[in-house]
A and B are shown apart, each in its own frame.
Chain A
Amino acid sequence: MRTKAFALAAASVLVLSVQAAFAQAPASPPPAWHQGKPPALAESKLAPLAGKMTETPASEIPISKLKLPKGFKAEIWASGLVGARAMTMNDDQTKMWVGTRGIGRVYEVSNEGDKRTVKVLAEKLTQPTSVYANGALYVFAIDKVLRYDNAAKGATGQPVDMTAAFDLPKEQHHNWKYVRFGADKKLYVPFGAPCNICEPPTKEYAQIRRYNLDGSGKEVIATGVRNTQGFDWHPKTGELWFTDHGRDWLGDKGPEDELNRLSKPGQNFGFPYCHAKGYVDPDLAKGNKNACKDVTMPVTTMGPHAAVMGIHFYTGSMFPKEYQDVAFVARKGSWNREVKFGFDVVTVKPSADGKSAKVTPFMTGFLEDPKTAKFWGRPAYLAQLKDGSLLVSDEQLGAIYRISYSAPAKK
């Protein structure tokens, strides 16, 4: 989610738990309202798009409006998950957990083959996400980490409070977290810049960290990362690829969102001085010839204000061969743009050397009129089922769609 510093904050409502708010000293947030918005855009009425916080029955989801390449089909796999974002599953995929933002819930979905049932596992949390790791379910809210042990057959019992071990900074803005469990048995956790454009208030922000499962061994593996909302490891190289949102209030053209590749720990990805492929920040680095020095450039840019979310490298056997190891990326869609952009899932095909990539729209139809911002859904995250079909969560309608493929019959 791209924003004006603290100010033109979240599209969905950002949440403080009651206790946390009262416990907090009334420290004032930085005076960020005007930051990053040039005089030329002073009268702009652009604001984050409203999310939908009430349930949408499956019968009201216009699934037939979705467009996919030939042979692909989309169906509603689950619904009633208001504000659905990142998905995580147990090993046999009989259970899925889905986090949210403003509504503060983590859902548990039971996958019973031909149908799904949904229950609220945890609630009243500040923008929670979840990740299944080593038989346990970890819930990461902005101010809390909870661990449900023995989640292999569904999370039960009271969670263990792991908050103290993870050293979470307090700012909420851009700090909803996408969390993954790596092959190295570590948890990968991002900490966004708490502003549209600023020198982060402390060194705890604009970075990706990894931790051991118990919170020990904290290591910052990427810096200069404004707001990553998703990552995945390349199936062949094992490198971490991550999405990152470009800053706002520099007009319809960008700077564009990024798709980055971490080839070694410790790389710097440019925020707040260098955006996209060498776009020098006019507020914080104007005229600075070294703004992009030692900055790792993105593999590809992903479109202006596109709001790139989840990424998933396809490794299944259902889709045609040309999709093998191709990245699917959800673009939730822009708000800080007069003509809306994104609201789709694209494929990103890396070049042989992995240094560039081709971006092609794959799933479209959510955005009906870019000029009037008429849209009905906002694709957010991706997950792959064992049969090779691909799931896409829609944060706007609180639903999960399943994309399957069958070769068109030869005539």
Chain B
Amino acid sequence: MLLVLRKGRWALLAALFICGAQAQVPERANACAACHGADGNSALAGTPSIAGQPKVFLENYLVMTREGIRGSQVMQGLLKGMPDKDIVALAVHFSKLKSKPNEEKADPKLFGRGKDIAAKNRCASCHDTGFRGKEQMPRLAGQREEFLAEVMLQYRQNRRPGGDTMMNAALHGIPEADFKALAHYFSRLK
């Protein structure tokens, strides 16, 4: 834990530096930065990027996790007892940061397949044009590839509790290989 906090402080400093004039970083953002990246773009496999996510989505996720209804045990522990005003401050902060797509070269075939599957399943009807998310619906563009693939699988297998059951239904019957294509495509969008 100490190590995480220490890393967090450095991350906070980095965040302050990067954000420049945007100096009003909520005090608690350093704990987030340790895993999710100082600029909200995660460099840790399995840990999602939170930069550029819609404010409402972040708020809902943080509240539900604090309540112990969704999220990982680590996140539940970090958020325990956090007042709403701190949650709102964090949501505002990370929603304003810029999402960075995966810069690794895309596999054109896989990318194209992901694009087709996304169109066929009308992902954009909720996740919005460019998959940038809106209101309570998260941004997919630029999200970590392995995270997206794993989350979609969890939804389809009803292993992701506390979220909206509409995702369980939306992904019904889609094979795991298609999740990989979708994840590859989304992760490389700006």
Contacts and interface: CB of A to CB of B under 8 A. Distances in A.
Interface of A: 3, 5-10, 13-18, 20-22, 24, 26-33, 42-45, 47-55, 82, 102-105, 123-124, 172-173
A50 B88 contact: no
B47 interface: no
Contacts of A48: 136
Nearest to A53: B63
B22 interface: no
B165 A28 contact: no
B80 interface: no
A31 B70 CA distance: 24
Nearest to B129: A45
A18 B69 CA distance: 7
B170 A7 contact: yes
Interface in B35-71: 56, 59-60, 63-64, 67-70
B59 to A, nearest CB: 6
A31 B69 contact: no
Interface stretch (B7-15, B108-116, B154-162, B182-190): B154-162
Contacts of A26: 157-159
A54 B84 contact: yes
B94 to A, nearest CB: 15
Given A13-B60, A103-B63, A30 B169 contact: yes
Interface of B: 56, 59-60, 63-64, 67-70, 84, 87-88, 121-122, 125-126, 128, 135-137, 156-166, 168-170, 172-173
A45 B69 CA distance: 28
A50 B163 contact: no
A17 B161 contact: yes
Contacts of B157: 26
B122 A9 contact: no
A43 B173 contact: no
B172 A33 contact: yes
Nearest to A32: B169
A106 to B, nearest CB: 13
A22 B154 CA distance: 11
Given A13-B162, A29-B168, A123-B67, 10 more contacts: A14-B164, A15-B64, A17-B162, A28-B158, A31-B169, A32-B172, A33-B170, A52-B56, A102-B64, A172-B165
Which of B164, B166, B173 has most A Cβ within 10 Å? B166
Nearest to A172: B165
A29 B135 CA distance: 25
Contact of B169 (A33, A49, A51): A33
A9 B169 contact: yes
A9 B165 contact: yes
Given A45-B128, A54-B59, A15 B162 contact: yes
A24 B158 contact: yes
B69 A55 contact: no
A53 B169 contact: no
Contacts of A50: 56, 60, 135-136
Given A21-B159, A27-B158, A47-B137, A54 B165 contact: no
A31 B168 CA distance: 10
A42 B124 CA distance: 11
B172 A16 contact: no
Contact of A47 (B69, B125, B165): B125
B64 A18 contact: no
Interface centre among B64, B137, B156, B161 (most CB of A within 10 A): B161
10 closest pairs, A vs B, by CB?
Answer: A21-B161, A9-B166, A6-B169, A50-B136, A50-B135, A54-B84, A53-B63, A7-B169, A16-B161, A29-B169
Contacts of B126: 8, 45, 47
B68 A124 contact: yes
B169 A13 contact: no
B63 to A, nearest CB: 4
A22 to B, nearest CB: 7
Contacts of A52: 56, 59
Nearest to B121: A33
B84 A5 contact: no
27 contacts: A6-B165, A7-B169, A10-B165, A13-B64, A13-B164, A14-B164, A14-B165, A15-B70, A15-B162, A16-B161, A21-B159, A21-B161, A26-B158, A27-B158, A29-B169, A33-B172, A45-B126, A47-B135, A51-B60, A51-B136, A52-B56, A54-B59, A103-B64, A103-B67, A123-B67, A124-B67, A124-B69
B166 to A, nearest CB: 4
A54 B83 CA distance: 9
Contacts of B60: 13, 50-51, 53, 102
Contacts of A104: 67, 69
Contacts of B59: 52-54
